[in-house]
Chain A
Amino acid sequence: MNTFGGWLFHASERPYIKQYINANKHLIFVIMIFLSLIASGSLVPSSLVSYAFMAFGFDPINAYGLITSDRSLVMICVCMLSYFLPIFQFRFLMSASGRDLYLSLPIKRERLYHIHYFIGALFMGVATVWCGVVFLLFHPYNQRILVSVFVFLLFLLIGLCLYTFFTFLVVKSHSLLDAFIICMSYTLLSMMFTNAFQRFFQAGAAHILIGNGFDTVPSHVQQFISLLSPPWIMFHWNVLFLEDVQSHLSLIWVIVHTIMWMVFACFCFVYAKRSFVRKKMEQRKDSQEWVTYPLLVPMGEAVLILGYGEGQLCSFAIILLFVFSLIAHFFVKRKIHLDWRMPLRFIGFVLLGYGLMQASIATDFFGLIQEIPKQEDVEMVSVQVFDTQCVDCSILETLWIQDSKRISKVMSGQETMMKSKLKTMDEDVSLIVTFQYVYHDGEESIRSYYVTQEQTQVRTVLEEWKKLGILRDFKGVE
């Protein structure tokens, strides 16, 4: 077959592609200038980037950290491109007149999809590579060039996955507004889902530990949830080479995420093409494909009720969320008409949230929360004892204990504290005993207990700790 541009485009399509690029050359020029300014660090001051980057909990003070935070801006640009490009490339589908023009062209629909998809993908490639070149020119940290090249190639790869995913969503949408909302919802919802899970987990943990301790979502669970978000994978790749975060990130997980999104993008490409070819252009204006609003609205409701209601919504919050759901429902239907299934679904989610929270409490959050950890997982532990009734003698133990014998003693002491703990802090409380564990995988957990010194078993444990040197200089015991 007579082709140009390899297998991507047919020779007969060349005038169409040339004209398409020519018609958009001003826009391409503006985007390239904008990206150049971003990549060179001329548009956004480095201090602002560093400040924003610190919000993620990373220290950008060294050169390595600085280059990572600067690269994050390029990462954001790649994400933005992958978000806007499909909408731009397939915007003709969103208006009746656009469909009349493009679909009456003597080009097979399949080819029309290919042309528009690959022009966008090529532009993404050129823009990302250009960003990489400009970045390296303006950030001449020679020893890190290879890392940067590698990271930019991964940005491109994951950016293309994201671009394909959004193309799929755009093809499924029926108006420009829907395309924007649906793509944005998927981006935000994955972040909201992660955040909602954390909130739900922490609320559950607070119940399980009865106010005497708190727990964070285990990293493997967090990593599993972050499968939802390709920008998160890009971020992981970007910071993976920072020494201080390497312990928190597992390379295997990031590679698995990347491969998973590549496979997912292939499916999206095939299904987007199929949807485009079979799309009935006369379909109703509101987007009712199952991947659009019919999935997004219940997902949004579930995230809000389960995550932000934490399974125990007060009536005001329920009414507020119901009103939000109602507005979303009317917007999706483009009319003020209440479908009886909508309130039923909402009540179902509220009950589900309550039931899930009860089940979580009953099962120690499905085994994710261990009040006393397994000793073999513990790297080190520290104990802090605070006397609430003795202003001068409240001494905190800050030394880290790493030998297994003393760790074992601390853990058996924690068991005693757990049995003797008071459920709430009241006048009888004289001691707050806090255990801080650091595990072999870098995770941490904290447990705190309110106890009284009148309890014999508590005094025995404290004296034993003092003898073993676990607690030093604790006057309250003497």
Chain B
Amino acid sequence: MLKVRMVSKQLQDHPVLDQLDMEVNDGCIYGLIGPNGAGKSTLLRVMAGVYQPDMGCVTIDDVSIHNDPSRLKDILLISDDPYYFRKASLLDMKQFYRISHPDFQEEYYQKLIRLMKLNDHIPLDRYSKGMKRQAFLILGLCCAPRYLLLDEAFDGLDPHMRMIFKKEIVERLEEKQMSVVISSHSLREMEEICDCFGILENGKLITSGSMGEWLDTLHQYQLAFKEEASADMFSHLPVLSCKVDSRVVTLILEGDSEMLETELAKLQPVLMERLDVRLEELFVYALQERNDKV
């Protein structure tokens, strides 16, 4: 298991990570969500050993990667702007990655290259932004590290490629027992692919957990009333979010759905519809709640 223990990090005298705790279980896809400047990339760099934390540590199976850099062979970071040598082709970069990841999956590499229709002999300079992203995602998947860290993983990919990569990541995870940590702004995609998530804000993990479990406890309802509605009508319920628009109310509630529906029915709405709770709503709610507390 990859653990981040009480990690604090300052960048240019500005605290970016503040006593952050996080756990990435083996074989899971962890979605790291947060607004711009929340510290997602910094956290990934600390996890990959690029930055030394000011406080705390990152461990793999309870061994600190800072004390034993050889453990870094279990981690591969694909940053948002991956580095490649001048005039290097994908083939050259493959050779480089093979050094630190000797179990490189050559056959799988060939399969993906064909699937993406990439020419791995031409310099990466001549690739478009999306093609470069594809190239490094391929390398990341073929290295099959125990923990693959993807910063802004799907930036620059077209919808078709996003779909292919999401499928490949899930398949790879099952085959190789990898864990993937993905930071992205695209919450829809995170929702589709991640098992676990963590919402990062101001250097702290404000919410985290299993995506399925959390979504099971949250319910969104849209209600319509004959007369003007108000938020006070729902004060007796565990409301996370309430939007009132004249006679129409949208609620996010936490708890048992049957019990909640019984309680809502008592208010005699003319219409009650259950909607899916999206990660996006969860994210906005979590940030809102945090800001209200502040």
Chain A residues proximal to chain B, CB less than 8 Å: 15-16, 19, 22-23, 26, 92, 95-109, 280-284
CB of B186 within 8 A of chain A?
Answer: no
Give A19 to B11 CA distance when docked, in angstroms: 34
In the complex, which residue of chain A has the Cβ closest to the Cβ of B11? A282
Beyond A23-B92, A100-B77: 17 further Cβ-contacts under 8 Å? A15-B98, A15-B99, A92-B83, A97-B83, A101-B79, A101-B83, A102-B83, A103-B50, A104-B50, A104-B72, A105-B99, A106-B73, A106-B100, A282-B9, A282-B11, A282-B12, A282-B45
Most B CB contacts (10 A, CB to CB) among A95, A99, A106 go to A106
Structural contact, A19 and B96, CB atoms closer than 8 A: yes
Give A107 to B96 CA distance when docked, in angstroms: 13
CB of B228 within 8 A of chain A?
Answer: no
Using known A-B contacts A15-B99, A16-B99, A19-B99, determine if residue A105 contacts B72 with beta carbons closer than 8 Å: yes
Residues of B contacting A107 with CB < 8 Å?
69, 100
In the complex, which residue of chain A has the Cβ closest to the Cβ of B44? A100
Chain B residues proximal to chain A, CB less than 8 Å: 9, 11-12, 42, 45, 48-52, 69-73, 75-77, 79, 81-83, 85, 87-88, 92, 95-96, 98-100
10 pairs from A and B in contact (CB 8 Å cutoff): A15-B99, A22-B95, A97-B83, A100-B82, A102-B83, A103-B50, A105-B72, A106-B70, A106-B72, A282-B11
Using known A-B contacts A19-B99, A100-B77, A282-B51, determine if residue A106 contacts B71 with beta carbons closer than 8 Å: yes
Structural contact, A104 and B11, CB atoms closer than 8 A: no
In the complex, which residue of chain A has the Cβ closest to the Cβ of B51? A282
Chain B nearest Cβ from A102, distance in angstroms: 8
Residues of B contacting A284 with CB < 8 Å?
12
Residues of B contacting A108 with CB < 8 Å?
69
Structural contact, B69 and A106, CB atoms closer than 8 A: yes
Residues of B contacting A15 with CB < 8 Å?
98-99
Structural contact, B48 and A23, CB atoms closer than 8 A: no
Residues of A contacting B49 with CB < 8 Å?
103-104
Residues of B contacting A281 with CB < 8 Å?
50-51
Using known A-B contacts A106-B70, A284-B12, determine if residue A101 contacts B82 with beta carbons closer than 8 Å: yes
Structural contact, B79 and A97, CB atoms closer than 8 A: yes
Give A15 to B88 CA distance when docked, in angstroms: 17
Give A284 to B14 CA distance when docked, in angstroms: 12
In the complex, which residue of chain B has the Cβ closest to the Cβ of A22? B95
In the complex, which residue of chain A has the Cβ closest to the Cβ of B82? A97
Residues of A contacting B77 with CB < 8 Å?
100, 104
Chain A nearest Cβ from B196, distance in angstroms: 22
Using known A-B contacts A100-B77, A107-B69, determine if residue A23 contacts B100 with beta carbons closer than 8 Å: no
